[in-house]
């Protein structure tokens, strides 16, 4: 006899957020979670992205209310900083919990 999952329970993958789950955006949120605020250049280097590509992902996250983008100067150099919003913190935690549920399913059926 094989064990089958509860047909009435939602599969954990259904709770993944497409905005958060995308590899680069998940990386941005994770790095921003680790720091009070993170500088654009640091994100670009850590995630191995072009400035244009990073800007597009930041726009998606900012539009979803998950990050705040602050532009300013440090000395004479223009800088862009990224900060995780409370909604971003919640979305990241929910995504991680869903991923843990998926991992648990794989580990228990192996």
CATH number at residue 61: 1.10.10.10
> What average pLDDT does range 2-17 have in this prediction?
72
Residue 32 CA to residue 58 CA, distance in Å, equals: 11
Q: Does 109 map to a domain?
A: no
Q: Does 55 map to a domain?
A: yes
* Residue 3 binned pLDDT confidence (cut-offs 50, 70, 90): low
| pLDDT at position 108 over 60 | yes
pTM, 2 dp: 0.85
Q: Does 95 map to a domain?
A: yes
Q: How many residues does the chain have?
A: 110
Domain that holds residue 85: 15-101
Q: Does 1 map to a domain?
A: no
| pLDDT in the model for residue 12 | 84
Q: How many folded domains does the chain comprise? A: 1
Q: Does 3 map to a domain?
A: no
- The CA-atom distances, in angstroms, between 9 and each of 31, 56, 95, 103 are 32, 35, 18, 16
pLDDT tens, position by position, 33-92: 999 899 999 999 999 999 999 999 999 999 999 999 999 988 889 999 999 999 999 999
């Amino acid at each position: 006899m094989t064990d089958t999952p509860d047909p009435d329970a939602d599969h954990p993958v259904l709770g993944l957020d497409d905005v958060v789950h995308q590899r680069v955006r998940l990386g941005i949120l994770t790095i921003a979670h680790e720091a009070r605020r993170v500088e654009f250049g640091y994100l670009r280097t850590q995630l191995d992205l072009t400035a244009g590509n990073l800007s597009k992902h930041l726009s998606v996250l900012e539009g979803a209310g998950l990050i705040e983008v602050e532009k300013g100067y440090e000395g004479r150099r223009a800088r862009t900083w990224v900060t995780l919003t409370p909604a971003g913190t919640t979305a990241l935690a929910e995504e991680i919990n869903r991923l843990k549920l998926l991992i648990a399913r794989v580990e228990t059926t192996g």
